[in-house]
Structures are given as structure tokens and as C-alpha cells.
Structure 1
Amino acid sequence: MNANAHYPQASPVVRTQLNFKLDQVPRFWFGGDPYLTRMFDALSLTFPDGERYFIESVRLFRDQIADPGLQQRVADFIRQEAQHGMAHDKMNQVMKTQGMPVDQFIARLNRIFRFELQHRSAQYNIAMTAAAEHLTALMAETFFGSRDTLRSAHPYVRALFAWHAIEEMEHRDVAFDVMKQAGNVPELTRRSALAITTALMLGFTLYRTNVMLRHDGFSLRERLQMNLRGLPWFFGKNGVLSRMRRQYLDWFKPDFHPSQHPLIAQYEVWVQALQETGDPIQAGEAFWQAAR
């Protein structure tokens, strides 16, 4: 990657009242695979309150932003993140009806975010938010860069993640620009934030996955076997998340900016399909079909 090359960045667009029909999704929606289903479910569990934490972290600097263009992008970022929270709240409610301990997960997560906002510096929180946005944008690219990755996923859940991926691409640089223009964040804090965010996200996701599998009725031995078989899908030599290692490591370069990474190739396919149909599920299907 040419560190000085910048790709055109899409502007955040707030899309509301999107119906993904999540109440019609089967229990193990990822091709009947309990482990992959619960890994993605565990990731989804983080989003509603995680998005609200991102909003609060950015708001800490709103009065210090001099650029009107960035002020507008921040406003759109906040509205997009609020929509993401509401959509994933619905997915979390589906898990709750399946007997998952969603309330306990959320209560613990809220305690962590309250502690971070009350006891950590504003610079730390905006760096963590920018790092998390970098990570989720890369995951969006990774999950939808190839048709094979989510081929077995139910179309309705795949459409939810497709919409989320699109908007992560659109606002992936907003928190980063707030951090750079108004945050006065030390370089060591910026770099370490990605390592901390990655460790926390991975730890919480694996923990929740295994707790949910236990509630699904799987024994400890069965869960251990599932982890041994399932983790390489994500983190093996050719694992889905292992593929993003180069772009992930770009974060640690002193001249890094998110716009140095191109938008996902089929971005316009999703935008056009939604405009033509008004249906996020059809747009998600077109987006997925247009992948390599």
C-alpha cells in the first residue's frame, strides 16, 4: 500500500426503518452450524451498547471541532450508529427469546463502558473508538469480500451484516479524524488502542459464544470440540479474519489514515439495489452476489 494514496471516501448516509425480518431466522442460522452462528451472535451482542459508547466518545470532542464538514460527518456518524444499535437490539431480542442470557451480557458490558467513560481520559476513549471503527470496517471488507465466506448464512442475517458493513465503510474515518483534529491523542495511545480493542473484542466474543452454546445444551466436551474445529475458520492460516492482517497492521504506521484503504468493490451495488427496491434484504443479496 502506498501510504500517501487516498481513495475517495463515501459520505455517511442515515438510513432508517429497515426491516430485516430477524424474527423469521432459524436458531442456528449459519448453515445449521451452532458454533459459527453463536460466534456471529456474540459479535452482534456487542454492537448496540458498543455503538452507544462510540457516540459518547465522539461527543466528548464535539465542541472542539472547528471544521464544519467534520461536524456534519460527526452528526451523521451518530445517527448511523444509533440505527445500528436499534437493529442489533432486535437481533439480541431474538437471542433472548431463545433462552440466551442477553441481559447479563449487556449489564456487564454497560458497566465496562461506564467505567471507561468515567475513569479514562477522553483521549483514551476516542482512540479506542477510532481503533474499533478500523477493526469493524476491516471485518466488513473481510466478511463480504468473497461470496464463499457467508454463503451458508441465512439471507436475512447476511443482509443485516451487509447494511452494517456498508455504513462502517462510510463512517470508518470519522472517529479517526476527530481523534486527529481535536483529540490531541499521543501516538502511543493511538497505537495501543487497537491491540487493547482487539483483545477485548476477541475475549468477550469467545466467552459469550461458549456461554450461549452451554445454554443451547452442549456439554463442556462438545464445546471444546466445537472451538477446536471452529476457531481455524476465523483465525487459521487461511482463516477469514487472518486475511485482513496486512490492512490491520497498517494502523500502526505513523502516517496511516483509513481512507488509504479502498471501499469494498461492490459498495455501489448495495446502494443502487436499496434505491431501486427499498428492501435491505434484496440489497444485501445483491451485495453478497456481487462479491468475488
Structure 2
Amino acid sequence: MNTMITSPRPVVRSNLDFKLEHIPRFWFANNPFRTRIFDALSLTFPDGERYFIQSVRQFRDQITDPDLQQRVADFIRQEAQHGLAHDQMNDVMRQQGMPVDRFIGVLRKIFKFELENRSAQYNIAMTAAAEHLTALMAHTFYQQQDTMREAHPFVRALLAWHAIEEMEHRDVAFDVMKDIAQVPEYLRKFALLFTTFMMFHFTLYRANVMLRHDGFSTWQRIKMTTQGLPWFLGRKGILSAMRRPYLDWFKSDFHPNQHPVIAQYQVWVDHLAQSQDPIAAGEAFWQAAQQGKRLS
């Protein structure tokens, strides 16, 4: 597995307005479980992106290649914009009575501990692994129209923009990890397993807490989880479709650019250039996705 695809260059886009203040409480198909799973994942992004930035910055002085220097600079600026956008999503959840600040407080303690007590190699490995996961999710969510069909267009547009920029910088942390940090193979492989476990553990935990704040009883939350989780992780679940590209990480010759860029990437770029409207661009991007059932 060594065929490389040229990834698009990172482009920093700022001041995009997704009108998140207008979304309904349960913005995904009026389904509390699906909504709160995505909300719980979104909660991680602002401080997660800042952790990624710090992890890459630890190696910035060691980078001599001008191309990688520029890609790192653009990566940092893109991640900063992602954090700001998802901060707005957090504000929406705060207004709904969610314990956002409690969640963020825990996250900040974890990331502070990791940066202060773990090696720079460890942190860049965790960052590269998380970027692999988010790039795969970005591709999976928008490869098929059915996946995000019932999501509110404003949130769908926010996640589409994030997906586009994940395509653009998916290789940056990986190249810093491999070429500059020279992370050993055992640590690189462990990082994805550990990151995956922590991401899904905290996402499910936060979703459950938010559903409790929504007023659902313990039994109702158990029922929602039992009925809703297969949509994500069942035999034909949207995240189950990631398993083959996910496992590619464990091949000794893996590089993110061996995976294709999402087919309708240029549709989003062109529509944003024409309309200057990220919601319209997100809608065009989603409309251009493949028709039909999700692949198992």
C-alpha cells in the first residue's frame, strides 16, 4: 500500500457564519440520541484543536523544510478557526442548559497533564492519530447523502467545512510525527488505539449526561442507546464503514495521502468562492455526495 495522492493545500478561511443560534434543540432528525452524540463529539473540538496546535508547535523549531513549515503554519491557523467555530456550537449547548463548562474543565485538565507530563513524541503521536480519526469521519459522514440527510442544514454546513479542511491538512501532523519527531512504530500504533478508546468513551459519557439534562430518565437513556448505537457502530453503521481505512494505520508503510480525498471536495471550494456563503457551499457539498445506502 504505497500509492500516494496529492492532498489539496490547506487554505485558511475565517469569519464563516453558520447561524448556529437558529438550530433546534434536537437538530438531527429530531432524534435526541443522534443529536447528543454529535454534540458530545463537537464539545471536544475547541480544546482538542488547541492541544493539537501545541503538540505540533513543540517541533516547529526543528522543521527546516520550507514546504512543511508553511503547511504547519496553515494547519495551526485552520485548527484555531475550527476551535472558534465549535466554541459557538458550545454556546448553543450552554443556552440549552448543558454542563458544557464542566466537560471543558475536565478536558483542559487532561490536555494540560498530557502536555506537561508526557513526551513531545507521545503528544504528536496522539495528535496524528486523532487527525486520522477525524479525517476518516469527515470522509465517511459526507461520502453518502443518506448519512447526513436528516441533519439540520446549518450544522451540516459547519461539519462540511470542517470535513473540507480535514482533507487539506490530514497529512501535516503525520509528517511532523514521522519526519521530525521520528516516533517509534509501537507508539504510533498504540496512539490510535488509545485515542479511539478515549474518544468514544468520552463521547458516549457526555451524550448520556446531556440526555439526562434534557430530562430523559435512566431507562429512557438506556433504550435510546440500545436503539441508537447500531446507527453508528452496527454492521452497516456509519462508523463501521471506516474499518478498512482505519486499520490501514497499522500498516508499516501507511501515509494519510494513500487515502482518496472526498470526491466532491472541489464542489465545496467552488461554491464558497462563488457565493461566499458557507451554508450554501455546505449544501452543495452534501447534495453532490453519492446517492444510495451507506456501504457496509
The CA deviation at 1:8 is 1.5
Partner SS for 2:139:
helix
Cα distance in structure 2, aligned partners of 1:253 and 1:226: 37
Partner residue of 2:293? Answer: none
Cα distance in structure 1, aligned partners of 2:198 and 2:180: 26
Partner residue of 1:215? Answer: 213
Unaligned runs of 5+ residues in structure 1 are none
Partner SS for 2:147:
coil
The CA deviation at 1:31 is 1.1
Runs of 4+ in 1 over 3 A off after TM superposition: none
- Summarize the alignment of residues 1-80 of structure 1 with structure 2, pairs less than 5 Å apart: 3-80=1-78
Partner residue of 1:196? Answer: 194
- Summarize the alignment of residues 102-251 of structure 1 with structure 2, pairs less than 5 Å apart: 102-251=100-249
Cα distance in structure 2, aligned partners of 1:12 and 1:191: 26
Cα distance in structure 2, aligned partners of 1:260 and 1:108: 35
Residue by residue over 1:81-109, the C-alpha shift from the partner in whole angstroms, topping out at 9 and shown as x without a partner, is 00000000000000000000000000000
* Contact 1:149–1:240 (CA under 8 A) maintained in structure 2: yes
The CA deviation at 1:63 is 0.4
Partner residue of 1:265? Answer: 263
* Contact 1:65–1:181 (CA under 8 A) maintained in structure 2: no
Letter matched to residue 110 of structure 2: I
TM-score with structure 1 setting the length: 0.99
Cα distance in structure 2, aligned partners of 1:69 and 1:141: 25
The CA deviation at 1:66 is 1.4
The CA deviation at 1:184 is 1.7
Cα distance in structure 2, aligned partners of 1:250 and 1:59: 27
Letter matched to residue 87 of structure 1: A
Residue by residue over 1:249-289, the C-alpha shift from the partner in whole angstroms, topping out at 9 and shown as x without a partner, is 00000000000001000000000000000000000000000
Letter matched to residue 252 of structure 1: F
Partner residue of 1:278? Answer: 276
Q: CA RMSD in A?
A: 0.4
Cα distance in structure 1, aligned partners of 2:172 and 2:184: 18
The CA deviation at 1:38 is 0.3
**Aligned residues with identical type, % of pairs:** 70
Q: Give the total of aligned pairs.
A: 290
Letter matched to residue 281 of structure 1: I
The CA deviation at 1:146 is 0.4
Partner residue of 2:294? Answer: none
Partner residue of 2:99? Answer: 101
Cα distance in structure 2, aligned partners of 1:112 and 1:106: 10
Partner SS for 1:148:
helix
Letter matched to residue 70 of structure 1: L
Cα distance in structure 2, aligned partners of 1:30 and 1:124: 36
Partner SS for 1:57:
helix
Letter matched to residue 243 of structure 1: A
